[in-house]
Structure 1
Amino acid sequence: MNQVVLIGRLTKDPVVRYTTGQEPVAVARFSIVVERPIRTGSEKQTDFPNIVVFGRQAENCEQFLKKGRLVGISGRIQTGRYAKKEGDMVYITEVYANKVEFLDWENQQSEDNASSVEAVQERSF
C-alpha cells in the first residue's frame, strides 16, 4: 500500500507548467511544511515534502493557493532520480496528490471579500 495524507501550509506559491503533446496537461508543484508530533521535552520538528498535482486540480491550485494557505493532501509517494551535469545522481521523493483540499477556504474568501470591499470604498472617495 502506498498512501499518504498530509496537512500543512504552503511554503511558496504553486508553480504550474504544461506538458507537451497533443493535449497539454497542467502540472503544479509546491511544497508544504508539516509539523512532526512533539515528544515531551523535545524541540518542534518539521518536514517539507514536495507535492505534484495534475490536470484541472493543478490549475485550481495555481488560482486559489498562495504561500501560507493550509491544505490537506491525499496521494502517494513516488521516488525518482536524475544525473547532474557533473554526473552525480540526485534522488528525489515527491508526493503525487490525488486530492488537494483547501482547508482555510472560508478565511481566504472573507479576506478576499474584505479587501475587495476596501478597494471599492477607496475608489469611491
Structure 2
Amino acid sequence: MNNLNSIIIEGNLVRDPLFRSTAKGTPLCTFSIASNRFYKQDTGIENEVSFFDVESWSKLAESCYNLGHKGRGVKVVGRLKQDRWAGPDGKQRSRVSIVAEHIEFRPEFKREESDQDDPSEAGASENAVTEDIAEMASVAF
C-alpha cells in the first residue's frame, strides 16, 4: 500500500523554465518557484519566502516550458521526491523536489496600447485593469 505523498503549492517562477529530454526522448521541464508566507509579528507584518524545485514530465513539461516565464504565478499539485547521492567529498547529500502532476498558471493581464489623446480615458482603462487584477488576486484557485 502506498503512503500519502501529496503537495499543493502556489508561488511565482524564479526564472524561466529549463527544457530538456532524457536519453530515451522523454520531455522534462524543471523550474523553481518562490512561495511567500505573511504573518503578524510584534513589529508588524513579516514575510517569509521559501524556494522549491519542481520537475514536470511529458506533455505537462512541454506546456510548462511554453507557458511559464520568470515571475509568472503558478499553482502546482504533485508529490515530493527525495534524491540521495554521495558528494565528491564522500559525504551523503540529499535534495527534496516536487514532481508535478497538475499545474495551473495564473492569468496574465496585458495593457492595451491605445493612441487616445484623452489621458482621462487612458487612466480609466488602467484603473479597470487594476481592479480586475485585485479581484483575481482575491479569488482562490
Q: Is the structural similarity TM-score above 0.5?
A: yes
Cα 1:2–1:37 shift into 2, 3 Å:
farther
Report the RMSD for the aligned CA atoms in angstroms: 2.0
The secondary structure found in structure 1 opposite 2:47 is: coil
Q: Which runs of 5+ in 2 are unaligned?
A: 114-141
Offset, 1:70:
0.3
- Which consecutive aligned stretches of 4+ in structure 1 deviate over 6 angstroms post-superposition? none
Q: Which runs of 5+ in 1 are unaligned?
A: 116-125
Offset, 1:20:
1.0
Superposition map of 1:37-116 within 5 A:
37-41=38-42, 43-104=46-107, 106-107=108-109, 110=110
Q: Which residue does 1:28 correspond to in 2?
A: 29
CA distance in structure 1 between the partners assigned to 2:72 and 2:6 by the alignment: 23
Q: Which residue does 2:15 correspond to in 1?
A: 12
Q: Which amino acid aligns with 2:93?
A: V
The secondary structure found in structure 2 opposite 1:35 is: strand
TM-score between the two structures when normalised by the length of structure 2: 0.70
CA distance in structure 2 between the partners assigned to 1:29 and 1:43 by the alignment: 29
Number of equivalences: 109
Q: Which amino acid aligns with 1:86?
A: D
